[in-house]
Amino acid sequence: MVVSCCVIGCTNRYNKHNHKSFYRFPKKPDQRRKLWIAAIKRRTLNGQPWEPADHDRVCHLHFVTEPSTSIHDSCVQKICDLRKETQQLYAELGRLQEENLRLATLLNKQHLEQQVIESDRKLQFHTGIPSVAIFLWLLSFVECVLPTSRVMSSKSVLLCVLMKLRLNLQHQDLAYRFNVSLTTISDILNQGLPRLARKLCFLIQWPEREYLIANMPHIFKVSYPRCSSIIDCFEVFIQRPGKLTARAQTWSNYKHNNTIKFLVSITPTGAISFVSKAFGGRTSDKVITLRSGFLDNIQYGDQVLADRGFLISEDLANRGATLVIPSFTKGKAQLSAKEVELSRRIAHVRIHVERAIERLKNFNILSSNMTMHMVPHADSVVTICSALCNLQPKLVM
């Protein structure tokens, strides 16, 4: 039989190459035997006091001196000290384990948060959608109108359309990325863009006056408390049309290129509330405003902020609204101090429509030359991009 120490926590065993002293319990049931048993403090499985057997031994590590007639004093003291140290070590080990578990949980949480942030960043770069959660909501909302494909899932179809708008990738590039044919990509875009535009146009709404007043930013409350719209036009470069008539209609003297032109209106908080259909680049801002249906949204008492090119003050006055534009220097040597201050105040708030247009131009399909096979979908493209811009955080707080 292998001789080992019976003290809890001690693993010493007898080894013939390493002689260690082991001591037997006193056999007589006297005070010494009771003190040895009490010092060890062992219990049986049912909680009863432990009684040593004949083969139970205590090693020399639990004695201060060699066992003698006064063995119980040194034995009791040494065993108590060892038990106390063992309990302290177990307590310290438990504390370290709890600390390690807490740190591991914190690191896992930080790692997951970092993964979510990285996923949101990649998704926003490729699609313009600020987060994965919004993408999943958008997928569930438009899945019923997305074109069906035998080789692409609904998620891939939506991602393909959004990547086309955001990055303006060539059809062949998209075909390589999604491992499909060029015809499949063309069919998805030709069918998907109009359907998505019809489904998402509800995100571009003209707000009620009470909502405008309730959410009016402080900068507008001070200067233009009745402002309902800030308008401006932006142009998108297109390839040179083959027909002379189309070439003449889309020529822009301002951009010195063939363009299509859109009117965009934003609320005081920066949300896009109106987008016109596409007009030729040679069309003036006034004509676009009158023909686009923008004036149908104007109510009595509204203020509309615009640039100098929007000469629509009479048309707005007929509807009881007011046009606010910077002052002209025509026929004057210079502006008066009051006119300069007024123009500066207008520019300070009208700059937000430029920021909204900049958001639209972050979709590369609107900031680069649009190919002729995409021009027929221009209205749908601008509608989808405007709806996606309204899913982003508001511009003006």
- Span 60-99, pLDDT tens digits: 777 665 555 444 555 555 555 666 666 676 677 677 777 7
Q: What is the spatial distance between Cα 376 and Cα 393, in angstroms, rounded to a whole number?
A: 30
Region 288-313: mean pLDDT is 91
Measure the CA–CA gap between 37 and 93, rounded to whole angstroms: 27
pLDDT value at residue 70? 45
- Going from the C-alpha of 385 to that of each of 8, 201, 312, 394, the distances in angstroms are 73, 10, 27, 15
SS3 at position 236: strand
Note the pLDDT of residue 80: 57
Measured at the alpha carbon of residue 260, what is the angle toward residues 276 and 255, in degrees to the nearest 5?
125
User: Rounded to the nearest 5°, which phi and psi values hold at 134?
Assistant: -70, -35
Say what the pLDDT of residue 327 is: 76
Tokens of 8: 């809890």
Other CB atoms within 10 Å distance of the CB of residue 185? 25
The model's pLDDT over 308-321, given as tens digits with 9 standing for 90+, comes to 888 898 999 999 99
For residue 297, name the pLDDT band (cuts at 50, 70, 90): very high
Alpha helices, DSSP H only, in the chain?
31-40, 71-127, 132-142, 154-167, 171-178, 182-200, 209-214, 218-223, 244-249, 285-291, 313-317, 337-361, 364-367, 378-390
More confident residue, 46 or 234: 234
CA dihedral 271, 273, 277, 281 (to 10 degrees): -50
Decide which of 333 and 169 is more confident.
169
Q: Range with the lowest mean pLDDT among 20-24, 343-347, 348-352, 373-377?
A: 20-24
User: For residue 370, what pLDDT is reported?
Assistant: 92
Contacts of 345 (CB under 8 A, 6+ apart): 223
pLDDT, averaged across the chain:
84
Token pair listed for 265: 């209106």
> Cβ atoms within 10 A of the Cβ of 310, count?
22
Task: Return d(Cα 221, Cα 206) in angstroms, integer.
Answer: 19
Give me 259's structure tokens.
């363009």
Cβ–Cβ under 8 Å, residues 301 and 226: yes
Please spell the DSSP secondary structure of 72-119, one letter per residue.
Answer: HHHHHHHHHHHHHHHHHHHHHHHHHHHHHHHHHHHHHHHHHHHHHHHH
For 160-195, the pLDDT digits (tens) are 999 999 999 999 999 999 999 999 999 999 999 999
Q: How much of the chain, in percent, has pLDDT values that exceed 70?
A: 86
The pLDDT value recorded for residue 2 is 73
| Higher pLDDT pick, 339 / 218 | 218
Report d(CA 118, CA 94) in Å as an integer.
36
Say if residues 273 and 205 touch (Cβ distance below 8 Å): yes
DSSP string, 11-30: --B-BTTB---EEEPPSS-S
* SS3 assignment, position 149: coil
User: Which residue do the tokens 């998907």 mark?
Assistant: 192
DSSP-based three-state secondary structure for 187: helix
Average pLDDT over residues 199-220: 89
How buried is residue 70: exposed, middle or buried, by Cβ count under 10 Å (0-12/13-18/19+)?
A: exposed
Q: Are 60 and 23 in contact (CB under 8 A)?
A: yes
Selection from 52-56, 307-311, 384-388 with the highest mean pLDDT: 384-388
- pLDDT tens, residue by residue, 2-51: 777 887 777 777 777 666 677 777 777 777 777 777 777 777 777 777 77
Select from 286, 273, 292, 343 the least CA-distant residue to 315. 286
Percent of the chain exceeding pLDDT 90 equals 45
The predicted pLDDT at position 99 comes to 74
- Which one-letter amino acid corresponds to residue 350? R
Say if residue 295's pLDDT is above 90.
yes
- Mean pLDDT, to the nearest integer, of 145-172? 92
Residue 237's alpha-carbon distances to 76, 309, 319, 349, in angstroms, are 95, 20, 34, 27
- Tokens matching residue 287: 């004509």
Cα–Cα distance between 25 and 39 in angstroms, integer? Answer: 12
